[in-house]
Structures are given as structure tokens and as C-alpha cells.
Amino acid sequence: MVEIGERVLVHAVGRLNDGMKFLDTYKVGEPMDFVVGSRTVLPTFERAVSQMAPGDKVTVHLAPEEGYGPYDESLVEEVPAEEFPGAAQLPVGQFIEIALPSGSMRVKVLSPAGGMVRFDHNHELAGRELIFDIELVGTVVEDAIEREKHPAGCGCGCDRLKESLRS
């Protein structure tokens, strides 16, 4: 079993019910690397990994609520086309990155109609059941010097350990 705070290497294939793959670390040739408990992966995925030992393989099915949530129609926004330069050339059905003063936002362009442009702010996997084939390749053992290099709040819990040692 993997402990919270341990760094793991995981191969995973993520697919939908129709077989379409959205993740394949084998194809990339490099496993995912994350700290269990850091909340950098979906909670159900992380929970499955925490119950594995190196070499174990498991298939996990996630309902939409355990993945990227149900599809939310209220996240579809209509913007007047005249407020969006180049609205007529937007790639309908594709995702684009919109620059905002607070950062950028990835949205799907829906059909323009009646002088309006519709953008979908849902995650592209919202409302979909996700299936993950997971293999725990191993854990990464760090020495004290490597662990000391972690930034504050990195998620592995080492900052809490460092603080407790100072007290």
C-alpha cells in the first residue's frame, strides 16, 4: 500500500465507454509522477493508487461525478459577435484559448447564430464516464536533501514535517 506523501510512478490509459483514449502514458513512454495526497489527479484515481503495491494493475470506472462532473448547460455562454474580434473565423466544435486580464481560459466554440457566439466552459470530459487502466510502476524514495528542496505547500506534507521538527 502507498502512503500519503509518497511519490509514485504510474502508467495509465484513460478511455471512454466508446473506446476513445484521452490518456496513454505507455504511448508517451513515460509514467505519470505525482505525490499521493497532493490532489494533482482525480480523487478516485488517487484513492485507487493508494491501495496498490508496485507492480499491481487495476481498472477503475469513474462516474461523471467522480471525474469532471456532470455536463452543466449553465456553463454555455453567449457573447455578442461584435465583442469578439474574428468571430466569423472561429473554429466551430474546437477548443480555443481566450486571453483574459486574470489569465487565460480554454473554451469550446459552439455554433454562432443570430449575431451571437456561444462558448462552452464545461471540461471536455464533463458528463462522461471515465475508465482508467492503472499500473503502479513504483515509488520514488527521496533522501533528506531532495525532500528539503520541496517548495512550501507542495502537497506531499513535507512542509508540515519540517515545521514539526522546528518546534
Assigned architecture for domain 7-68+126-166? Roll (3.10)
pLDDT tens profile 40-95: 999 999 999 999 999 999 999 999 999 999 999 999 999 898 888 788 888 999 99
Q: What is the pLDDT of residues 101-121, one digit of tens each?
A: 898 989 999 987 788 999 999
Domain boundaries, the chain: 7-68+126-166, 73-120
Look at the chain and count its residues. 167
How much is the pTM?
A: 0.74
CATH 2.40.10.330 fits 73-120, yes or no: yes
Q: Are 129 and 16 in contact (CB under 8 A)?
A: yes
For residue 165, what pLDDT band results from cuts at 50, 70 and 90?
A: very low
147 Cβ neighbours under 8 A, 6+ residues apart: 158
